[in-house]
Structure 1
Amino acid sequence: MERTESGSVGKRPGRGTYAVGDERRLRILDAAVEHFAQWGFHASSLARIAKDVGITQGGLLHHFRSKEDLLVQVLERTEQHDKERFFANEYGTAAECYVGLLRLKQYNAERLGRTRMFNVLAAEAGDPGHPAHAYFVRRYRELTDVMSASLQHAVDSGELRADTDVVAVAQETAAVMDGLQLQWVLDPKGFDMVGRFRQYADRLLRAITTAGTGLPGDA
């Protein structure tokens, strides 16, 4: 029980109330993914997102302060999930790193709406005034840092050739991943994103490993 401003005693919100709020918040985030994927940020409407969830725009704004806040929350939610699933631990070898990236591609191939949203927003965010501009700048910097650190460890251990430019390889890999992803979104049934990335990773590792080995056979 809790005392109100008037001095009367009222009930505290029950756990069910919070559960309903959390469930509604997740539904808003899921709906926003579809809208941002279809129309981009600027053409998406909070009113339409709220309508799809079955609430008013005011109800949506109870959970998210603005469309900009909703966008950032969508991106941060998907990024946090990917970090926990694919980048929670450091990779011990370059081969392990590329197997992890391949699994990320396999996972993205199951999330057409989210992947389409990423492509649309990444293109829009080239404008420095876009609310997601700073997010994408940071994302690519962090992705490059994580990959180049793993590759440098592989150079130091002798797995990779000593002349490997780890930053250049990491940046190239990020570009290939996103380029393949763009082609797949345009033709999900006709373009094998996962297979193409597997072939790329195998060729790359054969070129830069001291033993000339590619991806593990079970990758």
Structure 2
Amino acid sequence: AEGGREPPQVPVVFTKHHNCVIGPGAPVHIPAAAPDAVDYEGELAIVIGRRCRHVPASLAPSVIAGYTVMNDVSVRDWQAASPTMTMGKSWDTHGPCGPVLVTGDEIDPHALALTTTVNGELRQNARTDDLIFDCYALVAHITTAFTLAPGTIISTGTPAGVGAFSDPPRLLAPGDEVAITIEGIGTLTNPVVAEPDTQLL
């Protein structure tokens, strides 16, 4: 696996704070606290449509509203500094999603091409056929532990090609533009900017 890690035996599950979610065209912020550590991760995302718990993989399609594109933006140094990934994954603006929701009767979520470009340069090129854990297995695994509400987003993991594991590393900077395309869904495009100098008290 990329980064020299072995594929996990079970899905690695973590949460992203709801404040990280933004739509197409909204800017991704490079925080002053981590100016050289922000990375992209192009991913297929599942959107839950029904409140559910203990869903077997065979019934997972019945609780899925549809699929969209997600950029699981990650602050690599903060991610590596803690045994949990929350602080590296949940910064404001670091959960772009879109551009549309496509239902399961329109696409096969396990047979889609995925590409990520940064400033027009191809960085990731893969297929959802290659997911370590397919969409239905992820729903089954997560609902073993807790209830999912309608609107819950489950991102399915990213293929090789992220900036942190490039040689040399190619992390995001203000002025960049990230575009993630998934066959049958569309392209999620977001500019990258320096975090505004704001304070909320």
TM-score category of the 2 structures, normalised to the smaller one: under 0.3
Question: Which structure has the larger Rg?
Answer: 1
Q: Of Structure 1 and Structure 2, which has the larger fraction of its residues in strand?
A: 2
Identify the structure with bigger relative contact order (alpha carbons < 8 Å, sequence gap 6+).
2
TM-score w.r.t. the length of structure 2 is: 0.27
Query: Which has more helix, going by share of residues?
Result: 1
When normalised by structure 1's length, the TM-score is: 0.25
